[in-house]
Chains A and B, each alone.
Chain A
Amino acid sequence: MAPHTEQLTAPAVRLAGLTRSFDGRTVLDGVDLEFPAGQFTALLGHSGSGKSTLLRAVAGLDHEVEGGGELTAPERVSVVFQDSRLLPWRRVLDNVLLGADGKEAAARGRAALAEVGLAGRERAWPSELSGGEAQRAALARSLVREPELLLADEPFGALDALTRIRMHGLLRELWKRHRPAVLLVTHDVDEAIVLADRVLVLENGRIGLDLTIDRPHPRSYRDPLLGEYRERLLAALGVTEDLA
């Protein structure tokens, strides 16, 4: 299963024998993984399977975690967390501009807010936003840095079902326009299938399944051909659906 080795471009992310453990408990047990620039990848796994650990390792956020292995990641990386993580004491635009300095930064911030549908809310306080709006602002903040790699740690996990569907469309659209490599960590099989072009399943600290989903976008939850992928993924996750 190595369809990605023929890529002409250098991989955006490369993990080789990546290990991480907490208090002697191995969470990542030698993960080998590559994905090219601009690829939309989803990472599935049970809670506690180490998918967040993997994402945090790629983001460089695991300061005091034991582990080894090789890790290459691009220069400009953005992270979207499950919570929007907006600073309550900065207005929305200032939150989006956190860490982006310079004259044209403000213009880029406004443009990013407009892209996520928050034009006109630049001066609002984060506490005045709904959950979905806050998460859009977080997406805008990640865009301002023009990332080569966008890491998203269950970014829609705290949203209601309707908002989540709308955010799926938005994320896919933003990806199409900016083409960063995306690593979306989720526990929602359907979310992974609808959004990603490649789905990985993390199991026992390794990549248990590496599935390329070859269906055109936008995809529908009701697409029967996606059902096959869903079954394979659920099987890899150890969930057996009784289909009799």
Chain B
Amino acid sequence: MSTTTTTTTTAAAAPPPAAGAPGVRRRRRRSLSPGRRLPAAGLIGPLAVLALWAGASAAGRLDPGAIPAPWTVLRTAGRLWTEGTLATDVVTSLRRAAYGFAIGLTAGVVLALASGLSRVGEALIDGTVQLNRAIPTLGLIPLFILWLGIGETFKIAIIAIVVYIPVYLNTHAALSGIDSRFVELAEVQGLSRLAFVRRIVVPGALPGFFVGLRLGVTGSWLGLVVLEQINATSGLGYMMFQATNYGQSDVILVGLLIYGVFGLVSDSAVRLVERRVLSWRRTLNS
């Protein structure tokens, strides 16, 4: 045993000329990765744009009729909120989006479950939804006006359709993409059909569902904007459309700002829920 150790040490001692020779010491290679991330990296760009906008406005380099100064926009927002109809417009828009989104979400999930868990359901539902998807939903507006009139029902219906499609597609894909190895495991462990759905199918499909949910949220705002700008007599889009007629660019910017806040808040909320529900994934990503 000891002889082998000695031979290995001599073998290891053989190459020291290379290790000991001066100048062979290896320098660290230049890193090709972009390095560590800056703190609050997501905010730097927007803040720079804002500063540029404010600076140019203050220096009088921007036409206030086309791009009013940031403080003008804020003042207009305050004025519209206290004196005008901004508060009711916001509530109207939010209600449309919320109803449409809730109905679309429910429909998307229920249809995906029905189609993902039964072959009969799949035969009835999947092809129909795929067909529906092929028609751009906003192209349905004329028909829906004819059917439902130009009131709230029609707007909510269009938003619901815009939402249910991505929710359905992603949830259904996730449901039918459950790893067959896990199906086998469930059989081996003697799970009932209900337990199989609850413990394997649903949790396994959640990541896909959340992709659909986020697309649905974005879609609901998109649908809202389009509907309010062409077929409404109240709401944020209507306010902005009216402002175009009177050349009030500050009012239009107020509307855009609020749409932006809506989008940001709703997306963050979905992400928050997603992180909570899919906490088991954090260990993989971080």
A: residues with CB less than 8 A from B are: 59-61, 77-79, 81, 83, 85, 87-90, 98-100, 125, 127-128, 141, 145
Contact = CB atoms under 8 A, between A and B. Distances in A.
Contacts of B200: 87
A87 B189 contact: no
Contacts of B283: 125, 127-128
Given A98-B189, A98-B199, A127 B284 contact: yes
Closest 6 A/B residue pairs (Cβ): A99-B189, A89-B203, A79-B188, A89-B280, A127-B283, A85-B185
Contact residues on B (Cβ < 8 Å of other chain), bracket: 20 to 34
Nearest to B199: A98
A85 B199 contact: no
Contacts of A141: 189
Nearest to B188: A79
Contacts of B280: 88-90, 125, 127
Decide if the interface of chain A is mainly helix, strand, loop or mixed.
loop
Contacts, number: 51
Interface of B: 181-182, 184-191, 195, 199-200, 203-204, 206, 278, 280-281, 283-284
Contacts of B187: 60-61
A87 B203 CA distance: 9
A111 B135 CA distance: 58
B286 to A, nearest CB: 11
B188 A61 contact: yes
Contacts of A85: 181-182, 185
Contact of A87 (B182, B184, B206): B182
B188 A83 contact: no
A99 B280 CA distance: 20
B203 to A, nearest CB: 4
A94 B278 CA distance: 16
Nearest to A80: B188
Nearest to A101: B195
Contacts of B281: 88
24 contacts: A59-B188, A61-B184, A61-B187, A61-B188, A78-B188, A79-B188, A81-B185, A85-B182, A87-B185, A87-B203, A87-B204, A88-B281, A89-B206, A89-B278, A89-B280, A98-B185, A98-B199, A99-B189, A99-B190, A100-B189, A127-B280, A141-B189, A145-B189, A145-B190
Contacts of B199: 87, 90, 98
A125 B283 CA distance: 8
B200 to A, nearest CB: 7
A44 B142 CA distance: 70
A89 B204 contact: yes
Contacts of A61: 184, 187-188
A85 to B, nearest CB: 5
B190 to A, nearest CB: 5
A90 B186 CA distance: 14
Contacts of B185: 81, 85, 87, 98
A84 to B, nearest CB: 10
A227 to B, nearest CB: 23
Given A81-B181, A81-B184, 10 more contacts: A59-B188, A61-B187, A77-B188, A79-B188, A87-B199, A87-B203, A87-B204, A99-B190, A99-B195, A127-B284
